[in-house]
Amino acid sequence: MKYNVFVYGTLKRGFCNNVLLNDATFLGEAETINRMTMLSLGGFPMLVDSYGVSIIHGEVYEVDDDTLQELDNLEGHPNFYMRKTTNVSINGGKAVKAITYLKGKHYRPYGSAIVLSGAWTKERT
Protein backbone atom coordinates (compact mmCIF):
# COMPACT_ATOMS: atom_id res chain seq x y z
CA MET A 1 0.00 0.00 0.00
CA LYS A 2 1.11 3.61 -0.58
CA TYR A 3 0.72 6.52 1.84
CA ASN A 4 1.32 10.26 1.64
CA VAL A 5 3.43 11.42 4.59
CA PHE A 6 3.98 15.06 5.54
CA VAL A 7 7.36 15.67 7.21
CA TYR A 8 8.37 18.94 8.86
CA GLY A 9 11.65 18.38 10.73
CA THR A 10 14.64 16.07 10.55
CA LEU A 11 13.00 13.91 7.86
CA LYS A 12 13.10 16.77 5.33
CA ARG A 13 15.69 16.88 2.54
CA GLY A 14 19.10 17.95 3.82
CA PHE A 15 18.43 16.77 7.38
CA CYS A 16 19.87 13.72 9.13
CA ASN A 17 16.82 11.41 9.07
CA ASN A 18 15.93 11.96 5.40
CA VAL A 19 17.89 8.77 4.61
CA LEU A 20 14.83 6.84 5.79
CA LEU A 21 13.01 8.27 2.76
CA ASN A 22 15.56 7.12 0.16
CA ASP A 23 13.03 4.66 -1.30
CA ALA A 24 10.11 7.11 -1.09
CA THR A 25 8.82 9.38 -3.85
CA PHE A 26 9.21 13.11 -3.13
CA LEU A 27 5.91 14.78 -4.07
CA GLY A 28 6.85 18.36 -3.24
CA GLU A 29 7.08 21.08 -0.68
CA ALA A 30 3.91 21.47 1.32
CA GLU A 31 2.17 23.30 4.11
CA THR A 32 -0.67 22.42 6.41
CA ILE A 33 -4.11 23.80 5.60
CA ASN A 34 -4.91 24.32 9.28
CA ARG A 35 -2.79 26.05 11.86
CA MET A 36 -0.86 23.89 14.31
CA THR A 37 1.80 24.58 16.91
CA MET A 38 5.43 23.58 16.32
CA LEU A 39 7.53 23.06 19.43
CA SER A 40 11.32 22.89 19.57
CA LEU A 41 12.63 19.95 21.58
CA GLY A 42 16.21 21.02 21.00
CA GLY A 43 17.52 19.19 17.92
CA PHE A 44 14.10 18.33 16.50
CA PRO A 45 10.53 19.65 16.41
CA MET A 46 7.17 18.29 17.53
CA LEU A 47 3.70 19.33 16.38
CA VAL A 48 0.60 19.68 18.48
CA ASP A 49 -2.70 20.29 16.77
CA SER A 50 -4.28 22.25 19.59
CA TYR A 51 -3.71 25.99 20.03
CA GLY A 52 -2.84 26.43 16.34
CA VAL A 53 -0.20 29.14 16.06
CA SER A 54 0.95 28.90 12.44
CA ILE A 55 0.81 27.08 9.15
CA ILE A 56 3.47 24.34 9.22
CA HIS A 57 5.93 24.11 6.34
CA GLY A 58 7.37 20.78 5.21
CA GLU A 59 7.46 18.18 2.45
CA VAL A 60 5.27 15.31 1.29
CA TYR A 61 6.53 11.87 0.31
CA GLU A 62 4.74 8.80 -0.98
CA VAL A 63 5.91 5.83 1.09
CA ASP A 64 5.23 2.09 1.17
CA ASP A 65 4.40 -0.13 4.16
CA ASP A 66 8.05 -0.87 4.97
CA THR A 67 9.04 2.80 4.98
CA LEU A 68 6.00 3.72 7.08
CA GLN A 69 7.07 1.09 9.62
CA GLU A 70 10.60 2.58 9.70
CA LEU A 71 9.09 6.04 10.29
CA ASP A 72 6.90 4.65 13.08
CA ASN A 73 10.00 3.17 14.73
CA LEU A 74 11.92 6.45 14.46
CA GLU A 75 9.01 8.49 15.81
CA GLY A 76 8.15 6.11 18.66
CA HIS A 77 4.58 5.79 17.41
CA PRO A 78 2.16 5.91 19.23
CA ASN A 79 3.77 7.03 22.50
CA PHE A 80 6.36 9.73 21.74
CA TYR A 81 4.78 10.77 18.44
CA MET A 82 1.57 9.44 16.97
CA ARG A 83 0.25 9.37 13.43
CA LYS A 84 -2.58 11.64 12.42
CA THR A 85 -4.03 12.35 9.00
CA THR A 86 -4.08 16.03 8.12
CA ASN A 87 -4.78 18.14 5.03
CA VAL A 88 -1.80 19.70 3.31
CA SER A 89 -1.29 21.72 0.16
CA ILE A 90 1.54 20.47 -2.08
CA ASN A 91 3.39 23.16 -4.04
CA GLY A 92 0.56 25.62 -3.37
CA GLY A 93 -1.97 23.36 -5.12
CA LYS A 94 -5.03 21.53 -3.98
CA ALA A 95 -5.29 19.93 -0.56
CA VAL A 96 -4.41 16.26 -0.12
CA LYS A 97 -4.57 14.03 2.94
CA ALA A 98 -1.25 13.02 4.43
CA ILE A 99 -0.08 11.23 7.54
CA THR A 100 1.99 13.37 9.88
CA TYR A 101 3.47 12.72 13.30
CA LEU A 102 2.17 14.77 16.23
CA LYS A 103 2.80 14.74 19.97
CA GLY A 104 2.10 11.26 21.27
CA LYS A 105 -0.39 10.44 23.97
CA HIS A 106 2.23 9.85 26.68
CA TYR A 107 4.66 12.72 26.06
CA ARG A 108 4.37 16.04 27.89
CA PRO A 109 6.59 18.71 26.26
CA TYR A 110 6.62 21.12 29.23
CA GLY A 111 8.79 24.17 28.73
CA SER A 112 9.35 23.64 24.99
CA ALA A 113 9.76 26.78 22.89
CA ILE A 114 7.18 27.52 20.20
CA VAL A 115 8.53 27.90 16.63
CA LEU A 116 6.37 30.81 15.51
CA SER A 117 7.37 30.58 11.83
CA GLY A 118 6.14 26.97 11.55
CA ALA A 119 9.33 26.15 9.61
CA TRP A 120 12.13 23.91 10.94
CA THR A 121 15.46 25.10 9.55
CA LYS A 122 19.09 23.98 9.71
CA GLU A 123 19.82 26.86 12.09
CA ARG A 124 17.60 25.16 14.67
CA THR A 125 19.52 21.86 14.73
| Positions marked active-site | 75
C-beta neighbour count of 56 within 10 angstroms: 29
DSSP 52-112: --BPPEEEEEEEEHHHHHHHHHHHTTTTSEEEEEEEEEETTS-EEEEEEEEE-TT---TTP
C-beta neighbour count of 62 within 10 angstroms: 15
